[in-house]
Amino acid sequence: MLKRTVYFESAAHLSFKNGQLVYTPRPEGEVRTVPVEDIGFVVLDNHSITLSMRLIEELTANNAAIVFCDKLHHPTAMSVPFDGNITHAETLAAQLNMSEPLKKQLWKQTVEMKIKNQAAMLERTDSSGVEALQRHAASVKSGDTDNREGAAARIYWQNLFGDDFRRERFGGAPNHLLNYAYAILRAAVARSLVGSGLYPAIGIHHHNKYNAFALADDVMEPYRPYADEVVYALWKESDPEDEELSKEQKQQLLKLLAVDVHMTNTLRPLMVGFQIRHNG
């Protein structure tokens, strides 16, 4: 089932009643409701939004992620349930006991697929560099020891957004669009990992004692080009110097989770595809 992404940007109180998320605007306005069982993500983009503990409990029980935005309207934190799967302990034990050769092989497969998807993205936009990326994808070693990922990234970004573009968190446009899209993608991957019984802080390649979502950062890599495609379409329609996210742009970026992806000879919405991939 494709879960809904619910976005709130105005001052309000969010509560729970009769299986519904209840939206009560402040200081006044129309009260609205959304079935909690239909929600996959709640995005909070206003410092004057409050939530009841009962609502948080019910969202967590339904494996819904709550995404919090900062004063720049960028997603910066999220909550996911600790106990998202009935085989959590068994799955966690297997994850902790994963051998280094297996981790390196999994990272090789991850990088290969990421570069292949980047090549497909360039091909869809009639950009150059497709064959170069395909060569990089075909030569990734175990653990990507010679950093084909980095070499491919330089070709990819220059051909997609121009020679002067640098992919940097605090860089110029369209980095602000990419940051937002990747934050949403990261939240979706983390939610699926927890639902599968995996612990998102234990990665196969990304390692940082301050990173609670290292595994999400690993798993999301092949899906980044899907986010890039949504960003590319927005960038082509906007002022290339504009670094402010509009309400319309945020709404379009949230639709990323509903884009179709190929999953073993079938098409599925991205959010559903995560579940198929992780559970399978």
CATH of residue 46's domain is: 3.100.10.20
Q: Are both 94 and 70 inside the same structural domain?
A: no
| pLDDT tens, residue by residue, 71-103 | 878 788 888 776 655 566 777 788 889 999 999
Q: Are both 206 and 161 inside the same structural domain?
A: yes
Q: Are both 144 and 230 inside the same structural domain?
A: yes
pLDDT, position 88: 65
Statement: residue 245 has pLDDT above 50: yes
Mean of all residue pLDDT scores within the chain: 89
Q: Are both 174 and 196 inside the same structural domain?
A: yes
Secondary structure letter of residue 244 according to DSSP: P
Q: Are both 41 and 108 inside the same structural domain?
A: no
Q: Are both 62 and 34 inside the same structural domain?
A: yes
Banded pLDDT at 277 (limits 50, 70, 90): very low
Least confident of 3-7, 58-62, 120-124, 237-241: 237-241
pLDDT, position 45: 92
The structural domain count of the chain equals: 2
Least confident of 17-26, 189-198, 267-276: 267-276
Contact 93, 209 (CB under 8 A): no
Domain end (from 59, 79, 99): 79
Q: Are both 111 and 12 inside the same structural domain?
A: no
Q: Are both 75 and 94 inside the same structural domain?
A: no
Domain end (from 79, 112, 138): 79
Q: Are both 168 and 258 inside the same structural domain?
A: yes
| pLDDT tens, residue by residue, 205-216 | 988 777 888 999
Q: Are both 135 and 154 inside the same structural domain?
A: yes
| pLDDT tens, residue by residue, 163-209 | 999 999 889 999 999 999 999 999 888 888 877 778 888 899 988 77
272-275 long-range Cβ contacts below 8 angstroms, 24+ apart: 272/1, 272/2, 274/188, 274/189, 274/191, 274/192, 275/192, 275/195, 275/196
Find residue 4's DSSP bridge partners: 39
pLDDT, position 73: 80
Q: Are both 234 and 260 inside the same structural domain?
A: yes
Domain end (from 20, 49, 79): 79
| Token reading at 244 | 């402010």
Q: Are both 123 and 68 inside the same structural domain?
A: no
Give the helix ranges, DSSP H, for 139-246: 148-161, 175-195, 214-219, 224-237
In sign, the C-alpha dihedral spanning 2, 269, 221, 202 is: positive
Structural domain harbouring 40: 4-79
pLDDT, position 23: 97
